[in-house]
Amino acid sequence: PDAVVGHSQGEIAAACVAGALTLDDAARIVAVRSQVIAERLSGHGGMVAVSLPEAEAAKRIAAWDGRIEVAAVNGPSSVVIAGDADALDEALDALKADGVRVRRVAVDYASHTHHVEAVETPLAEAFADIRGRAPLVPFHSAVTGEWVREAGVLDGGYWYRNLRGQVRFGPAVTGLLAAGHTVFVEAGAHPVLAPAISEAADGADVLVTGTLRRDDGGPRRLLASLAELFVKDVPVDWTGVLTTPARPVELPTYAFDHQHYWLPAPAAAGDAASLGLAGADHPLIGAVVETPDTGGVLCTSRLSLRTHPWLADHAVGDVVLLPGTALVELAVRAGDEAGCAGLDELVIEAPLILPDKGGVRVQVAVGGPDDQGDRTVTIHSARDGAAGADGWTRHATGVLTPAPRTRPAAHPDLTTWPPPGAEPVEVTPEDFYAGLREHDYRYGPVFRGLRAVWRRDGELFAEIALPEQQHAAASEFGLHPALLDAALHTKAFLSSGEHRTMLPFAWNGVTLHASGAATLRIRVTQPAPEALSLEAADETGSPVLSARSLVFRPVAAEQLRTEGGGDVLFGVDWVPLPRPEDPEPPTWLRLSTAEEVATLAEDSADGAGLPGAVVLEAVTAGPDDTPLAVTDRTLEVVQTWLAGGGLEDTRLVVVTRGA
């Protein structure tokens, strides 16, 4: 390169590229700073990306002077603010209320603020012998805003200022543009600064590209990026890239002729951006759109066995179901778009059946925040060709909460593996899944992830893994639905008695701590007969996901074969009340309306005696009466009963027939 500029910690790598810092010194700087941040800064602050110019952002956060600062200036209308966690929450709410686009940065500390001054001494001691060399490639500092030309400038003190001072990446890019630079290559795992660079170019003829992309790394992607530069007339020294001697190959000339002999085709209008949507970069979500009237988001997609063939491996009986874990993945991913990564509750009302032919349209709707920042989330689907509101089925509804600021400590039983004191359970995956098939669970290879099981008192531990061919796809998800679904198969080792086909019904307290896992270590407990509590970690024991509880409900295969499978997870059950040992004949009073209940409550307030039980007959009164009318009357009675007061010592008995 003709020049190198870095962003925040990226300056360490940039200094290596420029030849101004040795790899050993760079590795030490990264390791020491990471350790010091974790020990002394973590948990006390946060950072938020804000789509505003620097001056406007500083004006907006002036109310929190001394508690929030502009930590980084990335472009003309792109900054990062950082500071105290509670003040940052207040500023975030205020900015959202004003319609400013904001996004939390996934850290729990405040770099480039006064918080960093607490670690100046340990960093000065650790970096005392770092001197820095004269750059071999021109190095533009995003700390000082000047060119670094001499040895000793990038010393230990510089790398403290790099963490403490404001990141001036945007002004550095502006300076490079003014100096005549027209090609910018972002070297990193995924281009995140490229949009800010393009904005700074302000329409000038400037080429901005990257090296790697999320979920697309390695030599093939790097060569493709170099090729993108090469075809734009940027010279590339291929001899430094190719691992085998290169030889020229004759190519046809016409395909590369810059003079075309056909009419220019109109620009394609089928991508998300052309439709006014944003791409989601997620296998189960096609596009995202903000809903300005509520401050929520709407995620849309289309699922079918042709576009998502791996879903065919999840069937109950002869019906292919979208796994409940995929509904959890959809809710969590939609929550990320709205800044609420915690899933406090998700109740699955009806399974989502995938047809053999065609597909289903899916919508995940996240509502606006309430006073605590919580948001509702609903998941609907409609078959291809269905029209109108009646064509949509609501499959799940829940509540999203703002994500916790700190990542939980690793569970000791998942760090030491196998867990101490746990006895192995003899299980062969092939035999285990063959046994499940006899009970209507027809799992294909992608969903057969159970590898080993251990038992200790009331706990189960298991090792779960995706097939090797699915490991690359795992990085595209928060947590691959097939991997989490396999973790639920451990319920078979906790169940007893007659087998029933069970489906997930209600998730509570779900938090995704890390994404992209392809293998899991899990710990399962059973807080109730038809419920699980789950902790999942990666191969090192670091937390991946926790679920406070997951409740299951039985379902008959015949119910799933009905069109849509609507409401199959709801049911009616008779719950017997305990009979007292020495029952005394109570006094009974019959009533039929809410007005009579209100009168009874008023009489109680005046000191009148109350009966031991009040009986309401919830039955139709004649041919013109309807079950819906009976339900309405009963609801009014119950609401009046609960709101009236003074009736706590009297039992309301509802009598019905034909239920």
Q: Give mean pLDDT, residues 297-325.
A: 92
Q: Which of 656, 612, 651, 649 is nearest to 634 (CA)?
A: 656
Mean pLDDT, to the nearest integer, of 414-437? 89
**Quick one: pLDDT at residue 570?**
55
Q: Are residues 591 and 615 in contact, defined by beta-carbon separation less than 8 angstroms?
A: yes
Section 60-72 average pLDDT: 96
Report the C-alpha gap between 97 and 483 in whole angstroms: 38
3-state secondary structure of 170: helix
pLDDT the model gives residue 584: 65
Please state, in angstroms and rounded to a whole number, the distance separating the CA atoms of residues 171 and 176.
9
Q: Cα 17 to the chain's mean position, in Å?
A: 34
10 vs 244 pLDDT, higher one:
10
**Which residue, among 653, 637, 629, 634, has the nearest Cα to 599 in the 3D structure?**
637
**CA atoms lying within 13 Å on the CB side of residue 524:** 28
Q: Kindly report the average pLDDT of the chain as a whole number.
A: 87
Cis peptide before 351 (omega within 30 of 0): no
Token pair listed for 442: 């027809």
Mean pLDDT of 158-180: 95
pLDDT at 564: 45
Question: What is the C-alpha to C-alpha distance for residues 238 and 260, in angstroms, rounded to an integer?
Answer: 29
**Tokens matching residue 539:** 């191969």
In the predicted structure, residue 388 carries a pLDDT above the cut 50? yes
Residue 475, classified by CB atoms within 10 Å of its CB into exposed (0-12), middle (13-18) or buried (19+), is middle
User: Average pLDDT of 392-404?
Assistant: 89
Do residues 204 and 226 touch, judged by C-beta distance below 8 A? no
Average of per-residue pLDDT across 158-185: 95
List pLDDT tens digits, range 440-481: 888 999 999 999 999 998 899 999 999 998 998 999 999 999
Range 599-624 average pLDDT: 81
Give residue 567's pLDDT band: very low, low, confident or very high (50, 70, 90). Answer: very low
DSSP H helix total and E strand total for the chain: 17, 30
Residue of higher predicted confidence among 422 and 571: 422
pTM, 2 dp? 0.51
Among 133, 499, 440, which residue's Cα sits nearest to residue 315?
A: 440
Residue 607: the pLDDT is 62
Q: What is the pLDDT of residue 501?
A: 76
Q: Average pLDDT, stretch 311-321?
A: 90
Query: What digits encode the pLDDT tens for the residues 177-234?
Result: 999 999 999 998 888 898 899 889 987 889 999 999 887 888 889 999 999 999 988 9
Sequence length of the chain is 659
Q: pLDDT for 83-123, tens place per residue?
A: 999 999 999 999 999 989 898 998 999 999 999 999 999 99
In percent, how much of the chain has pLDDT > 70? 89
Average pLDDT of span 556-560: 64
